[in-house]
Amino acid sequence: MEEVQGEKQSSRLVLVLYPFQGHINPMLQLATILHAKGYSITIIHPEFNSPNPSNHPHFTFISIPDQLVESGVSLAPGDFIDRVLALNKNCTAPFQKCLERMLDDDQKHPLERIAGVVYDCFMYFVQAVADDLGLPGFNMRPTAAAILLFSVVPHTEQESIFESQISELQPLELKQMLTSFSMNPSDNMKEMRAASLNAIRSSSGIIANTMEFLEHAALSMIRQYSPAPVFTLGPFHKLAPSCSTSILQEDAHCISWLDKQAPKSVIYVSFGSMASLSKQEIVEIAWGLANSKQPFLWVIRPGLVHGSEGTELIPDGFRQKVGDHRGFIVKWAPQREVLAHDAVGGFWTHCGWNSTLESLSEGVPMLCKPCFGDQFLNMKYICYAWKIGIQVESELERGKIQGAIKTLMADIQGEEIRNKAMELKRKTILSLTEGGSSLSSLEEFTKQMLSI
Ligand code: UDP
């Protein structure tokens, strides 16, 4: 920290949230990491899905109007582009006013200055406001860094670069993904891509929730094309272990249930905060779990099946088959604690990036059923690049589910996957120790902040 007339001047960072669970978690974790490095933290967030300030007494929270509900934007997972565009449009003026007010206050309190603004990559409007007010802006990526390749590699070069991609990236089948992205992009999609690329280009840095060893090839390609430095501080939740960031109430009873289970015996099943399933899929999952004979902890979030609580769809006879003790169903779990529990030996996931990092950093192998967006790329990383998971066929069928659970958790065919998962856990720990890549990257970030 600098000195002003012999007194220490402290620095404040302003962090801007995109208000959905998979984005709120990493941003609040990053805030906790940066707070531990000595920064004061202000979180600016849309009114929609406001985080609970009492869980973070050290941060200042400011909400800004977002008009999301009033503008009639769909909240369905697949309609995220309209939502992103609406938030970027509606939040710009209130955010600018709010930041100007904070800068005015700064002048009255010379012992604290705003050092920079860190924003979720979906809230890209922030970069232009930060530029306008002369503040450095940092683009926070809560997804795999590889997703950035679709932005930073020039469009005219993407096809040939992805075709001749180096072997480490081959399992991601980027060329195939590019073809599906490029097929009839809507005007809204084009607008979002262009604006988000502009933000990346003028940012002072990219803060990625990933690790160097995990995405080595993607990161070196990004660094070839992006002028902004890339800081890899992931997995954020391991550097900020103690903060609760859930919007839904976590049911902690499942931890006492896990305490009674044998080591590595339980399959944890959860499809995150946005994915949805059909009624028939719930029935197939239920019978697959029941027939696998494996203990299970299953998250059935209200809305997982559209317009339903979900639990009423569990078929007759399921409870008799499972008995009172082999299975536990909750609406929302303390997932990071669950995955770190000794009893958990496998995770059936939709492959959201947070879930992916939370699982691999605990050495838990995965069954993968991606539902939309970047989850397909994450699945390819998990199953075909890192080889710590098994892809579940997209059409769910109880017999195949039962077989996949057995392979992942118990059979000899799954042993290599289980060993590989433990190897990635060890590498994760190394990244997070003194001299490891994530801690070194955090040091580089703070050095850069001091030099601005
Ligand atoms: N999560 C949780 N409890 C649950 C299910 C999910 O706390 O029962 C958390 C999980 O730990 C993760 C986030 O919700 O941090 C989901 O993010 P992810 O990127 O995996 O998927 P998304 O919900 O964005 O699709």
pLDDT at site 106: 78
Place of tokens 């039962």: 402
Residue 419 lies in a domain: no
C-beta 354 within 6 A of ligand 1: yes
Please report, as a single letter, which amino acid is at residue 351.
Answer: C
C-beta 445 within 6 A of ligand 1: no
On whether both 52 and 136 belong to a single domain, the answer is yes
Q: Assign 3 a pLDDT band (cuts: 50, 70, 90).
A: low
On whether both 400 and 437 belong to a single domain, the answer is no
Place of tokens 């065919």: 413
pLDDT at site 167: 74
| Separation in Å, CA 298 to CA 72, 107, 248, 333 | 33, 52, 16, 9
C-beta 229 within 6 A of ligand 1: no
Q: Which residues neighbour 156 within 8 Å (Cβ) at sequence distance 6 or greater?
A: none
Residue 141 has φ and ψ, to the nearest 5°, of -105, 110
Rounded CA separation 296/323 (Å): 12
On whether both 118 and 50 belong to a single domain, the answer is yes
| pLDDT of 10 strictly over 90 | no
Q: Which residues neighbour 33 within 8 Å (Cβ) at sequence distance 6 or greater?
A: 233, 236, 239, 240, 442
Please report, as a single letter, which amino acid is at residue 415.
Answer: E
pLDDT at site 112: 82
C-beta 272 within 6 A of ligand 1: yes
Nearest CA to ligand 1 atom 11: 335
Residue 26 lies in a domain: yes
The answer to whether the beta carbons of residues 142 and 216 sit under 8 Å apart is no
Instruction: Please write the tens of the pLDDT for every residue from 153-175.
Output: 998 999 888 887 677 899 999 99
On whether both 267 and 204 belong to a single domain, the answer is no
Instruction: Please write the tens of the pLDDT for every residue from 95-143.
Output: 999 999 999 987 777 778 999 999 999 999 999 999 999 999 999 999 9
| Separation in Å, CA 255 to CA 108, 246, 310, 311, 443 | 49, 16, 22, 20, 35
| pLDDT of 72 strictly over 90 | no
Q: Which two tokens stand for residue 47?
A: 């009114």
DSSP 161-208: HHHT--GGGGGG-HHHHHHHHHSS--HHHHHHHHHHHHHHHH-SEEEE
pLDDT at site 95: 98
On whether both 258 and 180 belong to a single domain, the answer is no
Question: What does R_g of the chain's alpha carbons equal in angstroms?
Answer: 22
Q: How many folded domains does the chain comprise?
A: 2
Q: What ligand 1 atom has the least distance to the C-alpha of 246? A: 7
Nearest CA to ligand 1 atom 18: 352
On whether both 167 and 287 belong to a single domain, the answer is no
Kindly compute the dihedral angle of the four CA atoms of residues 197, 152, 121, 40, in this order, to the nearest 10 degrees: -110
Q: Assign 73 a pLDDT band (cuts: 50, 70, 90).
A: confident
On whether both 159 and 257 belong to a single domain, the answer is no
More confident residue, 286 or 449: 286
Residue 379 lies in a domain: yes
Residue 415 lies in a domain: no
Instruction: Please write the tens of the pLDDT for every residue from 323-348.
Output: 889 999 999 999 999 999 999 999 99
pLDDT above 70 coverage of the chain, percent: 98
Q: What is the CATH number of the domain that holds 275?
A: 3.40.50.2000
pLDDT at site 6: 56
Distance 272 CA to ligand 1 centre (A): 4
Q: Which two tokens stand for residue 204?
A: 């002072």
Q: Is 397 left (phi over 0), alpha (psi -120 to 50) or beta?
A: beta
pLDDT at site 1: 52
Q: What ligand 1 atom has the least distance to the C-alpha of 331? A: 8
Instruction: Please write the tens of the pLDDT for every residue from 232-244.
Output: 999 999 999 777 7
Nearest CA to ligand 1 atom 24: 22
Distance 437 CA to ligand 1 centre (A): 25
Distance 339 CA to ligand 1 centre (A): 12
On whether both 9 and 143 belong to a single domain, the answer is yes
Greatest CA span in the chain, whole angstroms?
75
Residue 406 lies in a domain: yes
Instruction: Please write the tens of the pLDDT for every residue from 345-368.
Output: 999 999 999 999 999 999 999 999
C-beta 310 within 6 A of ligand 1: no
**How much is the average pLDDT of 59-86?**
89
pLDDT at site 422: 98
pLDDT at site 5: 55
The domain of 96 spans 3-244+433-451
Q: What is the pTM of this model?
A: 0.96
C-beta 29 within 6 A of ligand 1: no
On whether both 70 and 141 belong to a single domain, the answer is yes
Distance 202 CA to ligand 1 centre (A): 30
Instruction: Please write the tens of the pLDDT for every residue from 208-260.
Output: 999 999 999 999 999 999 989 999 999 999 999 777 788 889 999 999 999 99
C-beta 21 within 6 A of ligand 1: yes
pLDDT at site 7: 59
pLDDT at site 226: 93
**How much is the average pLDDT of 66-83?**
84
Residue 422 lies in a domain: no
pLDDT at site 174: 93
On whether both 240 and 333 belong to a single domain, the answer is no
pLDDT at site 182: 74
Residue 354 lies in a domain: yes
pLDDT at site 118: 98
On whether both 131 and 21 belong to a single domain, the answer is yes
Instruction: Please write the tens of the pLDDT for every residue from 400-449.
Output: 999 999 999 999 999 999 999 999 999 999 999 999 999 999 999 999 88
Residue 289 lies in a domain: yes
**Average per-residue pLDDT in the chain?**
93
Nearest CA to ligand 1 atom 5: 272
Whose CA is closest to 354, among 440, 439, 192, 236?
Answer: 236
On whether both 211 and 324 belong to a single domain, the answer is no
Pocket test for ligand 1, best of 27, 247, 253, 335 (most atoms within 8 A of CB): 335
Distance 57 CA to ligand 1 centre (A): 23
Distance 85 CA to ligand 1 centre (A): 23
Distance 373 CA to ligand 1 centre (A): 15
Rounded CA separation 55/41 (Å): 14
Q: At CB < 8 A and 24+ separation, what contacts does 191-197 make?
A: 191/85, 192/81, 192/84, 192/85, 193/151, 195/88, 195/124, 195/125, 196/121, 196/122, 196/124, 196/151, 197/151, 197/152
